[in-house]
Structure formats: C-alpha cells, structure tokens
Structure 1
Amino acid sequence: MFLSIDADKCMGHGRCYMSAPGLLSDDEEGFVAQRGQTVEVPEGMREEAQEAADACPEGAISLRVAADTDA
C-alpha cells in the first residue's frame, strides 16, 4: 500500500501526522513533512494510514495498492 499527499491540497491542519505519528511527521512550518510525496506504508501500519487519510479535511491524502508515478 502507498500513501500519497497532494501538496496543493494540504493546508497544514496536522490531523494526519497526529493520527499516524509512526508514519508521518511535521515540518518546521507545521505541514506534514511528506507533503508532495508518495510513501510506502509498512504492513503493520495500514490502519494508521487509513486513519490519517480519513482525518484530512482537505482530502489531500490518498491510499493506493500500487505506487502512483504522478504523485
């Protein structure tokens, strides 16, 4: 599973990295540090990844089975 964060949609609410602290972190401006990236979700963190995606009010986080080369 892969988690992608759309940099244009991310508004820095911080709900994603608070929901998934073992997977995501914040940067010095309060945005998710992985903004604009696609990261592989370790097998044991899929539920945490889903919680992060569900927590984003902007819908900036998407989950995919395969990596998306456009993210």
Structure 2
Amino acid sequence: MKITVDEDKCCGAGSCVLTAPDVFDQRDEDGIVVLLEARPPRERHDAVREAATVCPAAAIHVGEEA
C-alpha cells in the first residue's frame, strides 16, 4: 500500500486522524493533513482505507503496490 494526500483538497476535518492516527496527523496552524507513514504496515491498511473513504474532501489516495 502506498498513500498520497492532496493538501490542496484537504479541508481540515480531521476524520483521517481520528480513523488512523498512526498514519495521519494535522498541522497545528491550519489543520491540513500530514502524512506520517506513506507505506504503513499491513495491520494499518483497513484503517487507512476507512480514512480515505470518510475523508469529506477526498484528499487521500490509496494505491496498491505489487
């Protein structure tokens, strides 16, 4: 799994941080998403997929690596 985020699309809702706090954080000054781990271990994949699904701005992209 490889995660990318589009900071320009992020609205700072924080859903990703609540769903996958080991993978996402937010900048203090404006709440924009910060990607902590672009290639998380398998045990975090379900939470990351859920975070991408619940993101109101669709700012999280999850790609599968071969």
TM range (shorter): 0.7 to 0.9
- In the TM superposition, what are the counterparts of 1:1-71 in structure 2 within 5 Å? 1-29=1-29, 30-34=31-35, 39-66=38-65
TM (norm. structure 1) is 0.77
Question: What is the DSSP-based 3-state SS (H/G/I as helix, E as strand, rest coil) of the residue aligned with 1:33?
Answer: strand
Q: Which has the higher strand share?
A: 2
Q: Moved runs in structure 1, 4+ residues, more than 3 A?
A: none
Unpaired segments of 5 or more residues in structure 1?
67-71
Identity of aligned residues (%): 33
Quick one: structure 1 residues 38 and 44, their matched pair in 2 at CA, closer, same or farther if it must change by over 3 Å? closer
The two structures, once aligned, show a CA RMSD in angstroms of 1.8
How many pairs align? 64
Unpaired segments of 5 or more residues in structure 2?
none
